[in-house]
Structure 1
C-alpha cells in the first residue's frame, strides 16, 4: 500500500470548497475545514467486490501481491499494519511504514494512526500527526467505492510538503489498486474461457 497514504464522481456531492477533480479515475473531495486544518480525500470506483478491496488493505498476502513485498498485519484495535517496499526489509526497521489500527469495521472501515515512515518522506516529521481513514462502500456485487481520507494537516512548511506528496501519491495508490484488482479479474476470466475452450 505504497505510502498508504490510497474521473469517477463521488456518489455524494462534493462539499463546498472541494478541490477540482484530477485526471483519471480518481475524484478529489479535499477541503479546508473551519478550524484551518486540511482534509485530503480521494476516491475511486473499482470493478471488484468489497471483500477483495478489504483484503487488499488488511491481508498480508494480498498486500504483497499488489503493493509491498514486506507486509505484516495485526488486525485488531491497537494492532498495526507494517510495510516496506524492498524484499530485504525486516519487521521493525526504522524505514518501514507502520500504522497503528485505531479502529475498524470488517469489510467497511479502517482507521489508522501513522507511526513511522521512511526517512526520505517529504514532511515526514509530521507523518505521525495524520490519521488515515479507508472507507469501502459496496455499490453492487461487483463494484466498490474506495475512499482514502487523511485528516490532521496543519499549515506549516512540513505539513505543506507532506500534503503535496500525498496529494500526488494517494491517487496513484488508488489507480494501482484498481489496475491490480481489475487485471486479476480479467486474467481469471481469460483463464476460464481458455479452460472452456479445451
Structure 2
C-alpha cells in the first residue's frame, strides 16, 4: 500500500511538472523578460503583466520556455554580468525572434561588445573609449536575426518605454520586411 501511495504521488509530481513547463510557453505572452530580480531596468511588474510580458529570473527556466516567432525576448542589462557565453549562444539561435536589450541604448555596444552576434571579423572597429561611451547611452536596443543570417539592429536612446518596446516587438513578429522598416525608421 505504501509503494502504491508513493507511486501515485510521484505520478502527480511528474504531471504537475509537465503542466508547469507546458504552461510556460509563449502562447499567452507577447514577450519573455529575462531579468535579475534585484535590479531590473523595468520595475513596474503590473505594467509588464498588462503588456502580456512574462518575467523570468533564471536562465535555466528561460531555456525551457518554448519561444517561437509569436513572441519576443527582452534581456535586462542586469543579467549581462560575468560570463555570458551560454546566454549569447542561446540568443544567437533565436532566429526570427525580436530581441530587445533594456538598459543599453546603443546596439553596437549591446550586440557587438556585450553579446557577440556575429563572427569577430565583422565587429565594428571602435576603441575601448568609444565602446565605453556607447555603454553609457541609456535606453534599449533591438536586434533581429533573419532566416538568411542577416542581423538587424537599432538603438532607442532615452527612457525605457514598455509600450514602445511592445510596439516594436509586435511589428517585428510580422517578419523581415517589418524589421527593415523598424531599422530604417528615423524615430
Give the TM-score normalised by structure 2: 0.28
Q: In terms of Rg, which structure is larger?
A: 2
Q: Decide which structure has greater strand share.
A: 1
- Which protein has greater RCO, CA pairs closer than 8 Å, 6+ apart? 1
Give the TM-score normalised by structure 1: 0.27
